[in-house]
Amino acid sequence: MAAGSIRVTMEVGADGVALITIANPPVNALHPILIAGLKDKYAEAARRDDVKAIVLTGAGGKFCGGFDINVFTKVHQTGDVSLMPDVSVELVSNMMEEGKKPSVAAIQGLALGGGLELAMGCHARISTPEAQLGLPELTLGIIPGFGGTQRLPRLVGLPKAIEMMLCSELGIWYDFYSKEAKVFKELVVAPTSRALVHVFFAQRSTTKVPGVTDVQLKPRQIRKVAVIGGGLMGSGIATALLVSNISVVLKEVNPQFLQRGEKMIAGNLEGLVKRGSLTKDKMNKAMSLLKGALDYSDFKDVDMVIEAVIEKIPLKQSIFADIEKICPKHCILATNTSTIDLNVVGEKTNSQDRIIGAHFFSPAHIMPLLEIVRTEKTSPQAILDLISVGKIIKKVPVVVGNCTGFAVNRTFFPYTQGSHLLVSLGIDVFRIDRVISNFGMPMGPFQLQDVAGYGVALAVKGIYAEAFGERNLDSDLVDLMVKDGRQGKVNGKGYYIYEKGGKPKPDPSVQRVIEEYRKHAKTMPGGKPVTLTDQDILEMIFFPVVNEACRVMDENVVIRASDLDIASVLGMGFPKYRGGLVFWADTVGAPYIYSKLSRWAELYERAKHVAARFGEVAHVRCCSAVGRRRIA
Ligand SMILES: C[C@H](O)CC(=O)SCCNC(=O)CCNC(=O)[C@H](O)C(C)(C)COP(=O)(O)OP(=O)(O)OC[C@H]1O[C@@H](n2cnc3c(N)ncnc32)[C@H](O)[C@@H]1OP(=O)(O)O
C-alpha cells in the first residue's frame, strides 16, 4: 500500500521469508496510514502459506524514528485522541508478538520510540552497531505507548531500561506500568506534551529561512576560521569549532593574552573529556587544529572570521576595516557582539554583504543557541554558510534581524530591569530569585547577573538607554555593587557568595548596597516596601518581557514567533516544558497580560515613582493575540 510518500511493501522470497519494509521519509515515522499498512501486511503474511517468517525493516537506512509527532499536533489542535490508532494491543501484541510466524526486526540507523517498540514486539532483533536505540518519549512529555515500558526492562534489564527511558531532559518518571496505554493518551493531551511537541517542531523550523534556504543555494565549506579575541567568549567559540574539526586561528594582542586564551581552550576541552562528551584522542586532535596568532598573517586563507573582542564600537570598526583588506574575498566577516548594531560595526568597510552577526551564548562551547544576525545587506549565501556552520558545530541557529540587542537580549532586557524595579520597590533579591527559579528558569535574575559578570551589563547600559528611551529603567544597582567591591562570580562576591566547589550562598551583607540603591531610586510609595504576591513578582518580571517580544515580532526581527520560543529556551533557559516565551504567553492569554501591564503602568505612572514604564502597554493588545504570529 502507498499514500503519498508513505509506503509499506512486502516481498516474499523463495525461502519463505517475507521482507516487510516501512517507508515514510525522512525517518519512517509511524503515521496512521503506515500503521494501517503494517497491519495489512502482517495479516497477509499470517494468511499466506508461502510465508514462513517475517523480517521487518525500514527504508533508506533507517528503521524508524517513532510515532509520527505531527499526529500529536493534530490531537492538540482538535482534542481528538482517537486520531491515534490502536497499535499497542492490536498490532504489537496480537499480530506481531503473538503471531504464529516468527518475525525479526532488522535495524539500521535508528529505532526510536514507537520504532523501538515495534522492534521489541518482534521475536528477535538484529542491529548494526552504530544504530541509535532509545525511548525518548519523555522529551515530548509522554511515556512510551506501544508496550515499551513493559518489554524494554524484560529485554535489557530494569537499570538499563530506566536509563534508556530517563535519559531525557524531563527526568521524571511515571510509575504506571500496567496502565501504559491509558496514561499515554492522557499525557498526550496534557499541557507539557503540547509545549514539548511545539518545541520539537519549532526547533526544526528555525533553519527554514525564506529567501535563504529555499532558493537553491548550496552552503560553502568552511574549513578554517579565525577567532579574534581569546577571552571567555572567543575561547568558547574556538572550542566549539575545534571539536567539530574546523581549524582555528586564535588572534590576540599580546603573548600573555594569547597564552591565556589557549589555556582556556585547553581547559574547555578537558572539561568536555571529564563530562564524557569528548574522548582524549579527539581532544588532542582538536588542540592540533588550533594555531595562535599575534597578527593577521594567518588570515589570508580563512573562510570566516569571528570577532569576539570587548563591546567597543571604535575597536570593532578598526578590526573590520583591517580584516576586510587581509582576508580573501569569499571570507565571511562575523561579529559576536551581543548588542551593537551591525551597520555600525561594518561602517568603515565596503563589505556589507558579508558582514553578519554570530552571537554565541556563554559558555559558547556548551550553550546550544547561535543567534545569526543579518542586516538588510547581508547576502543569503553568507547567512546560509553560517547556518551550515552552526549545524556542524551542533548549535541551533536562529536567524534574526539587526537591532540593538537583536532578538534575545532585546526581548529579555526588561527581565533584568523588572527585577531591579522590584528591588527598588522593596522586594527581597533572594525572594525574586526563588520565585523565578520555581517557575523553571535555571536561576533567578540576580544570580544570573553574578554568573554573567557585571562588565557586560555596564558596557551595554548606555547603548540600551539610548535605544530604548522611555522603556529603559535607569538603575545604578550594578554600579553600586561594583563600588562595594563586588564583581559577581568572578571575584566570588556578588548578591551571592561563591566558594570553590560549593553552592552559591545568599550574602546578607549585600543588604547595605540594596538599601543605598533604594535610597537613590526613591521608588517605594511613601518610603515603604510594597506588598506583592509571588505571582505578582513573576508577572512583573515576565510580562514586560512578553511585551518586548511583541515588539520584536511586530518589527519582524524574527521570522516567526516560534523562533523566539526556541531562542528563549536555548539562550535564556526559559523552561522548555512551558513551550518557550511566546507559547507560554499564549497560554496565559494576551487580554490578561495586557490588563496587568496597563494596571501597573497606571499605578506607577500616577505615583510618579518609577523612571520606567511597563513598556508600551498597548503593544501586547495591538498584537491582538500573542499567538496570532505562531507558526502554522
Ligand atoms: C507511542 C510511542 O511510544 C510514541 C512515540 O514514538 S513518540 C516519538 C518518539 N520519537 C522521537 O522522539 C524521535 C524524534 N526525532 C528525533 O529525535 C530526531 O528527529 C531524529 C534523531 C530521529 C533525527 O534527527 P536529525 O537527523 O537531526 O533530523 P531532524 O531534523 O531532527 O529530523 C528530520 C525531519 O524528520 C522529522 N521527524 C523526526 N522524527 C519525527 C517523528 N517521530 N515524527 C514526525 N516527524 C519526525 C523532523 O520534524 C524533521 O522534519 P523537517 O525536515 O520537515 O524539519
3-state secondary structure of 120: helix
Q: What is the DSSP letter of 289?
A: T
Sign of the C-alpha dihedral computed for residues 375, 376, 378 and 380 taken in this order: positive
Q: Is the pLDDT of residue 613 over 70?
A: no
Q: Is the CB of 91 under 6 A from ligand 1?
A: no
Distance in Å, CA 44 to ligand 1 centroid? 29
Q: pLDDT tens for residues 285-327?
A: 999 999 999 999 999 999 999 999 998 899 999 999 999 999 9
Q: What is the 3 state secondary structure string of 339-389?
A: CCCHHHHCCCCCCHHHEEEEEECCCCCCCCEEEEEECCCCCHHHHHHHHHH
Cell of 168: 531525557
> Is pLDDT of 489 > 60?
yes
Distances (CA, A) of 414 to 470, 547, 612: 12, 9, 10
- Does residue 387 contact residue 395 with C-beta atoms inside 8 Å? no
Residue closest by Cα to atom 49 of ligand 1: 204
Q: Active site includes 44? A: no
Instruction: Report the 10 Å Cβ neighbour count for 240.
Output: 25
| Range 77-89 average pLDDT | 87
Ligand 1: distance of its center to the CA of 82 in Å? 22
Q: Report yes or no: 597 and 547 within 8 Å, Cβ to Cβ.
A: yes
Closest CA to ligand 1's atom 39: 65
pLDDT at 611 over 70: no
Copy the grid coordinates of residue 77. Answer: 489542535
Query: For 135-175, what is each residue's pLDDT tens digit?
Result: 999 999 999 999 999 999 999 999 888 888 876 543 333 44
Question: Alpha helices of 122-221 — where are they, by DSSP H?
Answer: 148-156, 158-166, 180-188, 191-205
Amino acid at 259: Q
Residue 580: CB within 6 Å of ligand 1?
no
Name which of 248, 264, 247 is nearest 256 in CA terms. 264
- Ligand 1 pocket mutation pick from 27, 70, 133, 167 by most atoms within 8 angstroms of CB: 27
In this predicted structure, the answer to whether residue 606 has a pLDDT above a threshold of 70 is no
CB 40, CB 88: distance < 8 Å: no
Average pLDDT over residues 219-229: 97
Rounded-to-integer distance, Cα 55 and Cα 261, Å: 55
Which atom in ligand 1 lies closest to the alpha carbon of residue 144?
A: 3
Peptide bond into 26 cis (omega under 30): yes
Mean pLDDT (whole number) for 212-232: 96
Task: Give the CATH architecture of domain 224-402.
Answer: 3-Layer(aba) Sandwich (3.40)
Q: What is the pLDDT of residue 453?
A: 85
| Angle at which helices 280-288 and 232-242 cross, to 10° | 110
**Cα 368 to averaged position of ligand 1 atoms, centre (Å):** 18
Bridge-partner residues for 19, per DSSP?
11, 55
Q: Ligand 1: which residue has its CA nearest to atom 7? A: 67
Which residue type sits at 306?
I
CB of residue 65 inside a 6 A radius of ligand 1: yes
- How many C-beta atoms surround the C-beta of residue 172 within 10 A? 11
Q: Whose CA is nearest to atom 27 of ligand 1?
A: 204
Closest residue (by CA) to atom 31 of ligand 1?
A: 204
- Check pocket membership of 133 for ligand 1, CB cut-off 6 A: no
The pLDDT score that the predictor gives to residue 598 is: 82
Chain-centre distance for alpha carbon 166: 20
36 vs 164: CA distance, rounded Å: 28
Listed ranges 47-51, 87-91, 413-417, 615-619; the one with the highest mean pLDDT? 47-51
Nearest atom of ligand 1 to the alpha carbon of 204: 54
Question: Do residues 431 and 425 touch, judged by C-beta distance below 8 A?
Answer: no
Mean residue pLDDT of the chain comes to: 91
Give me the residue spans of the domains in the chain.
2-189, 224-402, 409-629
What does the DSSP 8-state code read for residue 410?
H
pLDDT digits (tens, 9 = 90+) for 388-418: 999 999 999 999 999 999 999 999 988 998 9
Burial degree of 445 (CB within 10 A; 0-12, 13-18, 19+): buried
Of 495, 414, 412, nearest in space to 454 by CA: 495
For the stretch 550-579, pLDDT in tens is 889 989 999 999 999 999 999 999 999 999
* Per-residue pLDDT, 299: 98
Strand 247-251 and strand 224-228: the pairing is parallel
Atom of ligand 1 nearest to the CA of 148: 3
- Whether the pLDDT of residue 445 is over 80: the answer is yes
Task: Check 90, 97, 98, 117 and give the catalytic one.
Answer: 117
Query: How close is the Cα of 204 to the center of ligand 1, in Å?
Result: 9
User: What is the rounded distance in angstroms from the CA atom of residue 462 to the CA atom of residue 153?
Assistant: 58
Describe the crossing of helices 408-424 and 445-452 by its angle, rounded to 10 degrees: 120
Residue-level pLDDT at 173:
39
Integer Cα distance of 290 and 104 in angstroms? 48
Catalytic hit among 98, 137, 169, 307: 137
356-375 average pLDDT score: 96
One-letter amino acid at 434 equals R
Residues 6+ apart with CB under 8 A from 124: 102, 104, 105
113 in ligand 1 pocket by Cβ < 6 Å? yes
Q: Which CATH architecture has domain 2-189?
A: Alpha-Beta Complex (3.90)
Question: Catalytic residue at 117?
Answer: yes
Beta bridge partners of 397: 370
Q: Measured over all CA atoms, what is the biggest interatomic distance in the chain, rounded to whole angstroms?
A: 92
Neighbours of 314 (CB within 10 A): 8
- Characterise 287 by phi-psi region: left (phi > 0), alpha (psi -120 to 50), beta (else): alpha
3-state class (DSSP) for residue 298: helix
Pocket flag, ligand 1, residue 136 (CB < 6 Å) = yes
Cβ–Cβ under 8 Å, residues 302 and 220: no
Interface confidence (ipTM) of the complex? 0.98
Whether 110 is in the pocket of ligand 1, judged by its Cβ within 6 Å, is yes
Backbone angles phi, psi at 466, to 5 degrees: -70, -40
Average pLDDT over residues 349-373: 96
Plot region of 224 (φ>0 → left; ψ -120 to 50 → alpha; else → beta): beta
Scored b (16 or more CB within 10 A) or e, 247-275 reads bbbbbbeeeebbeebbebbbebbeebeee
Under the banding of pLDDT at 50, 70 and 90, the label for residue 623 is: very low
Pocket test for ligand 1, best of 69, 88, 188 (most atoms within 8 A of CB): 69
Query: Which residues are within 8 A (CB) of 584 and not within 5 positions of it... i.e. 6 or more apart?
Result: 195, 574, 578
Model confidence at 619, pLDDT cuts 50, 70, 90, reads low
How do residues 514-564 score in pLDDT, each as one tens digit? Answer: 999 999 888 888 889 999 999 999 999 999 899 899 889 989 999 999 999
Q: What is the H or E stretch that residue 291 is in? A: strand 290-293
* Residue identifier of the C-alpha nearest atom 15 of ligand 1: 65
As a 3-state breakdown, the chain gives helix, strand, coil percent values, each rounded to 5, of 50, 15, 35
Q: Say how many Å lie between the CA of residue 112 and the centre of ligand 1.
A: 9
Asked if residues 303 and 224 have their Cβ atoms less than 8 Å apart, the reply is yes
* The predicted structure's pLDDT at residue 616: 55
Residue type, 394: K
Greater confidence (499 vs 463) lies with 499
Closest C-alpha to 423, from 497, 508, 523: 523
In the numeric block, the cell 594569547 is attached to 258
- CATH code for residues 409-629: 1.10.1040.50
Q: How far is the CA of 40 from the centre of ligand 1 (A)?
A: 25
CA 88 to chain centre: 33
